[in-house]
Amino acid sequence: VVCSNAFVEAMVMDSVSGTLVTLTNWNNQPRPKLNVSVKMTDAPRSIRSVQQQQELQGWKYHDGTVSFTTDLEWGDYILLPKQ
């Protein structure tokens, strides 16, 4: 996982149902418009933020990498279910 801010820590967990990305903001300031890239073999069905309780729009999958933008306060779980 690659994030556009060095003070955001990301952890990935894969399962048969999809991928979970845990984001932790160690900057003590909200990070609006954080860019995140995750290597995946296949495109996810959708991308959902648990903190925001909504699907993220505008994500892209290209050459084994899914990229999306999210507003991060202190932490979030991002769900990427398989097709």
% of the chain with per-residue pLDDT over 90: 98
Q: Which residue has the tokens 């779980």?
A: 77
Predicted pLDDT of residue 40 = 96
pLDDT band at 28 (very low <50, low <70, confident <90, very high): confident
* Nearest residue to 1 (alpha-carbon basis) of 30, 48, 34: 34
Question: What strands, in cross-sheet order, belong to the sheet with 75-81?
Answer: 8-14, 18-25, 75-81, 48-49, 54-55
Residue 67's Cα: distance from chain center in Å? Answer: 8
